[in-house]
Structure 1
């Protein structure tokens, strides 16, 4: 019973903290947003390093990784009619086990192909989704190390798009 009360108390404390942060956020306080973000990251995540002694490596190096992308990227039908080109910046985490986790487009083709109503062009959306699929299914990498220990490491890569 005491374990239940302890867990309930922790959940209640977290709820109160989130409520306070949301209240402050509603008041226009940017600090509350940072605090809430920090709390949720600490609760849900593991340490991810952006600077390591030895960065993660794809077996065969970056030329092999770009070859993997070229071989596995299936051009979506909506992209075939559109001659799109540009650079896509992809951020992802290489885990301590070498898995590619949480890929996301940090800067894509949306600025080069905007629609008047602010929506994402269907070809650009399909291209981004396929790029994320390919990154998500990447073979394991050699993980990055810091002080001789394998670490989760954040990476950013640029993929040049030339479909014209």
Structure 2
């Protein structure tokens, strides 16, 4: 009988601990930029965002040497305060391009936060960043 009681208590504690650790609050939920009416905006719009990227990306030397060209796909989260976080390469090229894309996104100025029902929310973006070596022959 004691053994059954101990096992039952252990199961109850295990269930309560797992629920507490895995259920994110509504405040922590990350929304997709396509799923909300008022997504975050970069100061000056997306054209200004891509201009910012173009002015700040430095073509990695290793990528130049190996003539690596193509697109790096990166995801990031715009937080409720407009800051950029959780920058990660989803599909990369290597030769330093992935790290460079992540570095530049980390330099981004704050965005205007996205809102849902009038409250700021966390929003995830996935974007392509193209690397083209203009000096390649």
TM range (shorter): 0.7 to 0.9
TM superposition shift of 1:88? 1.5
* Alignment TM-score, normalising by the size of structure 1: 0.63
Poorly superposed stretches of 4+, deviation over 3 Å: none
Q: Could you tell me how far 1:59 is from its partner in structure 2?
A: 0.8
- Distance change in 2, residues 1:57/1:154 (3 Å): same
**Which residue in the other structure is 1:91 paired with?**
75
Structure 1 SS opposite 2:30: coil
Question: Structure 1: 5+ residue runs without aligned partners?
Answer: 1-12, 19-34, 110-123
1:116-131 matches, cutoff 5 A = 124-131=94-101
Q: Which has the higher strand share?
A: 2
Asked if 1:151 is matched to 2:135, the reply is: no
SS in 1 for 2:59: coil
**What residue is the counterpart of 1:59 in the other structure?**
43
CA distance in 2, matches of 1:68, 1:155: 16
Which of 34, 42, 46 is the aligned partner of 2:28?
A: 46
Q: How many residues align?
A: 117
Q: Which has the larger radius of gyration?
A: 2
Q: Which residue of 1 aligns with 2:65?
A: 81
Instruction: Tell me which protein shows more helix as a share of its residues.
Output: 1
